[in-house]
Amino acid sequence: MSAKDKIIIFDTTLRDGEQSPGASMNLQEKFRLAQKLVKLNVDVIEAGFPAASTGDFDCVKNIADNIKGVQIAALARCNKNDIDTAWEALKGGDNPRIHVFLATSEIHMKYKLKMSREEVLARAIESVKHAASYTPNVEFSAEDGSRSDLDFVCQVFEAVIEAGATTLNFPDTTGYALPEEHGAQIRYLMGKIPNIDKAVLSVHCHNDLGLAVANSLAAINNGARQVECTLNGLGERAGNTAMEELAMVIRTRADQMTVETNIVTEHIYPASRLVSTITGMPVQPNKAIVGANAFAHESGIHQDGMLKERTTYEIMNPVDIGLSKGNLVLGKHSGRHALKDRIDSMGYSLSDEELNRVFDRFKELADVKKEMFDEDLEAILMDEVLRIPEAYSLRTLGVMSGSRVMPTAGIRLEIDGKEVEKAAIGIGPIDATFRSIAELTGTKSKLLFFSVNSITGGTDAQGEVMVRVEDKGRVVIGQGADPDIITAAAKAYLNALNRLIYLEKGH
């Protein structure tokens, strides 16, 4: 068999993925996710849009300065200020990439840009030249490329290659294309751009019609060699090409594919969990590859086949995506070294101070639960390692409820170093808990969404609560985990309120 071409995986979870409503991430969360993307072995991490805000600039700079061994990219509009700002954030990185974009479709040029074709061409050339004066690693995106006149796209791409672009991105910005159509568009570009051999052709497909992965595969089959994608398919509207799906298609159907990726697939599931936990965007149970039901078998016929031979109904081994079915061989008598080994094997790197916090929480939980699972440890990691500074922290909580009792919650919080307490009556125990927290903190925020899930099986499983809270136009996610779901709910609500304060302080 001849050597396979490599597909460059350009992960934009930190940029386009974060544009999902309510999915914003802070500096520490973005950095932790970037570390996980390095373990996945992606080729390019698009860390953000530095000109969009001071917070985005700081996140990109932090990642570029501290994450090595991978290309860090930053998005910029085709104007001098954006490009200068992007470079200022990126310049400490290894082989940093400036990613400039400009729309090429008639509808965008006429109604959004209010520019002629000649003006768009001139702006694209000028911007790429300016970006190339900083770095030889320049990407140009023709926004709304799939709805553009292909001959004009060819003209622009040929010109920006001469100006210094080394990657050309042809986005299906609105998710409008069909696979056969998108494949034909890529084939046309590959055949009509005379200097295409000097650049890599990339695609960035949106999932509005559920075809992002299919369109990306069609593009690959016709010459594209970079795919822009996100974990869990996160992104604006219906999202982007799901990186885990693309990587596993290429791996699972290696018999049909003439390409390969460098993705270390064993880190897919932990990375998916991390994204879901950070953003508060749950993965649907029937989601391909990383959904809770992806490797579940309920039908008797399926179960019988699985017992006889796994491959009767599983085309992938769950171990290949990092999904462990085994219990942690750890308990309340386990030591710090054993815990650290397990955390390392899950793909997390902790400082000594972080490990100490996780170890203390682990011992507390191990005293309560009979069996410990990877998911339990992950919940502790999310709570202890990714937590933000706490203006409000839970000290004690007592709840009285029942069919003949008025639900009442008494809570004690530490607020700015001082302990305060309050009791409140509610419709139910969680409502009473939230009311008491609201009165103590003085919040006027609105609870938009509440969900509770069991992290593992069993009546002693930890409950994982996620809330979405709005205040003054800001929407934040709060999460909490505890064997007691009311305590988990209180932690989640306080986490959301702490995030609001964190944002108000300009982080």
pLDDT tens, 452-476? Answer: 988 777 777 888 898 999 998 888 8
Per-residue DSSP letter, 3: P
- Position 83 scores a pLDDT of 98
**Is residue 210 exposed (0-12), middle (13-18) or buried (19+ Cβ within 10 Å)?**
exposed
Contact 467, 445 (CB under 8 A): no
Strands of the sheet with 446-454, listed across from one edge: 446-454, 463-471, 474-482
Residue 326 banded pLDDT, cuts 50, 70, 90: very low
Residue 175 and residue 178: Cα distance in Å, rounded?
A: 9
Q: Which residues pair with 75 in a beta bridge?
A: 99
- Position 247 scores a pLDDT of 98
- Position 333 scores a pLDDT of 65
Full DSSP string of 357-386: HHHHHHHHHHHH-SS--HHHHHHHHHHHHS
Residue 248: name the closest of 295, 285, 281, 204 by CA.
Answer: 295
Tokens 């949106």, residue?
206
Inform me whether the pLDDT recorded for 323 exceeds 50.
Answer: yes
Residue 315 banded pLDDT, cuts 50, 70, 90: confident
Inform me whether the pLDDT recorded for 299 exceeds 70.
Answer: no
Least confident window among 134-138, 144-148, 207-211, 366-370 = 366-370
Residue 327 banded pLDDT, cuts 50, 70, 90: very low
Residue 412 and residue 342: Cα distance in Å, rounded?
A: 35
- Position 75 scores a pLDDT of 98
Residue 25 and residue 444: Cα distance in Å, rounded?
A: 23
- Position 310 scores a pLDDT of 63
Average pLDDT value for residue range 259-279: 93
Inform me whether the pLDDT recorded for 220 exceeds 90.
Answer: yes
- Position 330 scores a pLDDT of 65
Average pLDDT value for residue range 158-172: 98
Tokens 């849009």, residue?
49
What six digits make up the tokens of 240? 């982007």
Least confident window among 36-40, 309-313, 435-439, 498-502 = 309-313
Inform me whether the pLDDT recorded for 306 exceeds 60.
Answer: no
Beta strand residue intervals within 215-360, DSSP E: 226-229, 259-260
User: Given the DSSP bridges, would you call strands 167-172 and 226-229 parallel, antiparallel or unpaired?
Assistant: unpaired
| Chain segment 90-118, per-residue pLDDT in tens | 999 999 999 999 999 999 999 999 999 99
Per-residue DSSP letter, 69: S
Q: What percent of the chain has pLDDT over 90?
A: 66
| Chain segment 395-432, per-residue pLDDT in tens | 999 999 998 899 999 999 999 889 999 999 999 999 99
Residue 307 banded pLDDT, cuts 50, 70, 90: low
What six digits make up the tokens of 140? 């140009």
Choose between 216 and 368: higher pLDDT: 216
Residue 282 banded pLDDT, cuts 50, 70, 90: confident
Q: Which residues pair with 242 in a beta bridge?
A: 230
Radius of gyration over every alpha carbon of the chain, rounded to an integer in angstroms: 25
- Position 1 scores a pLDDT of 41
The chain-wide mean pLDDT, for the chain, equals 90
